[in-house]
Homo-oligomer: A and B are copies of this chain.
Amino acid sequence: MTIALDTATMLAQLAQLGAIGHDAGGGRTRLAFGDADKQGRDQLVAWMRDLTLDITIDQIGNIFGTLTGSDPSLAPLMIGSHIDTVINAGMYDGCYGVLAGLAVMRALHSAGMVPRRSIVVAAFSNEEGVRYQPDMMGSLVYAGGMDVADVLNVIGTDGTRLGDELARIGYVGDLRPGAVVPHAYLELHIEQGPLLEAHATQIGVVADLQGISWQQITINGVANHAGTTPLVMRHDAGWAAAAVITFVRQLAQQSGSTLATVGSIQFSPNAINVIPQTAVLTLDMRDPDDEKLTAAEAQVATFLQTLATQAGVTITSQQLVRFPAVHFDESLVATIAQAAHDLGLSQRQMTSGAGHDAQMMARIAPAAMIFVPSQAGISHNPAEYTSDADLIAGATVLLAVVQRLSR
C-alpha cells in the first residue's frame, strides 16, 4: 500500500514552530526550559493530540507521542530529535526531524494504517546545551548516561536550577528515562555542514558520528606594561594562547581527519597597553576515529607543557565534554541507503560532524541518521536553509524506512 506524505502541513508546521521565540533580526531563540521552549512544547503536544498520539513525558521533560501498533509486545520504533534551539537560531535544526516524524504519523493516520510495531516520535530536552550543560542532555539521560537527580540540580548560565525551570514550565513527567527501549532509533536532520551541497547529493546516509572532545585551556602569565616590559621579561598569556590556536590548526592540517577549533577566547585584563595576564580559550576537537582523537588530545597536552616552559606561563586544561565516536547500526544504515535508492534519490554515506541525540540513543538501541543538505553548510544561524524539495525528500526516505521497520 502506498501512503502519501502531507508535506504541505509539515512545511507549515516548521514555519509555525520557527515563529515561536522569533525576533526582529530573523532568528529565534528557544533555550531549553525557558518560556519560548514551553511555547514550542505546547505547540508540539497540541499537534500530537491532533494525531491522537498517546503522549507521555519523562522525568527530564522528554516528550513522546506514540502511535500504538497492533502487536504491543513488540518494542516500538522511535523517531526523534529536539525542538530547543541555540541563541539566534535557524528554524530547521532539530525541529525538522521531530516534525517529519509527525508527518510520518499523519500519513499513517490519514491512511488508517495501524503498524504492527508501535511508533514513537520523541522530542528530547535540551539538545543544544546552551543554557544548561551538557548538550544532548535529554537523550543522554534517557540512555542512562546521567542520573535524573543530578541533572535536575544542574545550574544554568543564568543561575537557575534546571529542575525548578522544568517544573515551572510544567514538563516534569512520571516516565522513568529509559523505561521504553526502542527496537530502533531513527533521526532525520539537516546536515549542518557543506558536504551534501558540495556533492549535489540529496540524502546523507549517516554511518558514523565523530568523537567530540571539548576542553577549556587556562593560561596564567603576568600582567605588565606593554611599553616598558622587555620581550625577555614577558610572561604573555595572550601570545601563548595564539601559539595554541596555531598549533591545533597545524595538527588538524597534518591529520586530515581531525578537526580542531578555538571558538572562544577571553584575555584579562584585556587592555590595549597591558600584557595579558590570563587567557582562557576553548578547544573543540573531533574525529570519526576515536584513536586519532585520543592521540590528538595527547599531542595537545604535550604541546601545552612545552609551551608553558617556553612562554614562562602556567597552563591548565579542563575537559568539558568527551563523547566517543559512534558507529551507527550497519543494518539500519543499509536499510536507509536501500530506501533512498528505491526512491531514486542521490545519496552519499557520510560521517556526522555534529553531535546528535542519535549518538546517545545508539547506546541502548540500533540507531542511524538521515541527513539532508544545508545551504552553504550554515547552521546555528538565522541563515540556516534547506530547500523544500530536500526537506520533502528526507521525509520520504524516513517514511519508507519506518514502513520497512514497523510492519
Interface residues of A (CB under 8 A from B): 191-195, 210, 212, 214, 223-231, 233, 236, 238-239, 241-246, 249, 252-253, 259, 261-267, 269-276, 282, 284, 286, 320, 352-355, 377-381
**Contact across chains for B270 and A380 when beta carbons are under 8 A apart:** no
**Contact across chains for A226 and B259 when beta carbons are under 8 A apart:** yes
Neighbour of A264 across the interface among B210, B241, B272, B379, CB < 8 A: B272
**Contact across chains for B276 and A272 when beta carbons are under 8 A apart:** no
Instruction: Determine the residue in chain B with the shortest Cβ distance to A374.
Output: B228
**Contact across chains for B276 and A267 when beta carbons are under 8 A apart:** no
Q: Known pairs A224-B379, A227-B284, A230-B259. 12 more at Cβ < 8 A?
A: A192-B225, A192-B227, A224-B378, A239-B246, A241-B245, A242-B249, A261-B274, A262-B276, A263-B267, A263-B271, A263-B274, A264-B271
Question: So how many copies of this chain end up in the complex?
Answer: 2
What is the CB-to-nearest-CB distance from A83 to chain B, in angstroms, rounded to a whole number? 19
What are 30 A-B contacts defined by CB distance under 8 Å? Answer: A192-B227, A193-B227, A193-B228, A195-B230, A212-B227, A223-B380, A224-B377, A224-B379, A226-B286, A227-B353, A227-B354, A227-B355, A228-B353, A228-B377, A231-B252, A231-B259, A236-B261, A239-B246, A239-B249, A241-B242, A241-B245, A242-B242, A242-B249, A261-B273, A261-B274, A263-B267, A263-B270, A264-B267, A266-B270, A272-B320
**Contact across chains for A265 and B286 when beta carbons are under 8 A apart:** no
Complex Cα–Cα for A126 and B261 (A): 41
Neighbour of A223 across the interface among B223, B231, B381, CB < 8 A: B381
Residues of B within 8 Å of A194, CB to CB, are 228-230, 233
Complex Cα–Cα for A194 and B226 (A): 12
**Contact across chains for B226 and A284 when beta carbons are under 8 A apart:** yes
Complex Cα–Cα for A229 and B266 (A): 24
Complex Cα–Cα for A274 and B87 (A): 12
Complex Cα–Cα for A223 and B264 (A): 12
